[in-house]
Amino acid sequence: MSFDPNEPEQRRRLRAAIKAAGISVSELWLKYFSLSGDAGEYEVEAYLQGLLSLPAVQRDLLALAANELIDDLPRPRAPYSDDFGPEPAGADGGDGPTPGSADDRTAGADE
């Protein structure tokens, strides 16, 4: 097996991606293994540390596993106005009942 000159950069980017996503080596390996990866968890750890070389197909399976795990992470979303519940009473900044509300209609009933 000859050395692939792109392997160090692929390894560096894989490590950066899983670190940024908070994915552990165990999680990565389990997903990789479920995608028919051949390397054991210790070999994957050694690869990520730069101590072991893996064939391109295995590196690509690791990348696929990482990308699938990253895709499964919840992402923050910008809320729509109706994502918030109804405003509590008095939340409109007014000091009294809203014109036309039940409080306004009954205010003069006893007078």
pLDDT in tens, 15-54: 999 999 999 999 999 999 999 999 999 999 999 999 999 9
| Alpha carbon distance 60, 11 (integer Å) | 10
Name the residue with tokens 């690869």: 47
Q: Average pLDDT in the 5-13 region?
A: 97
Model pLDDT, residue 99? 55
Residue 69, pLDDT above cutoff 60: yes
Give the per-residue pLDDT at 3. 75
End-to-end CA distance of the chain, in Å?
97
Q: Which of 19, 8, 14, 88 is nearest to 50 (CA)?
A: 8
Q: Rounded to whole angstroms, what are the CA distances from 71 to 15, 18, 21, 37? A: 16, 12, 10, 19
Q: What are phi and psi of 87, to 5 degrees?
A: -70, 140
pTM score over 0.85? no
What pLDDT is recorded for position 102? 53
Residue spans of the domains in the chain: they are 7-72
Asked whether the predicted pLDDT for residue 103 surpasses 70, the reply is no
- Which residues, in sequence order, are CB contacts of 24 under 8 Å at separation 6+? 18
Residues with Cβ < 8 Å from 103, sequence gap 6 or more?
A: 96, 97
Dump pLDDT digits (tens) for 70-89.
999 998 889 898 888 887 66
pLDDT tens digits for 49-65?
A: 999 999 999 999 999 99
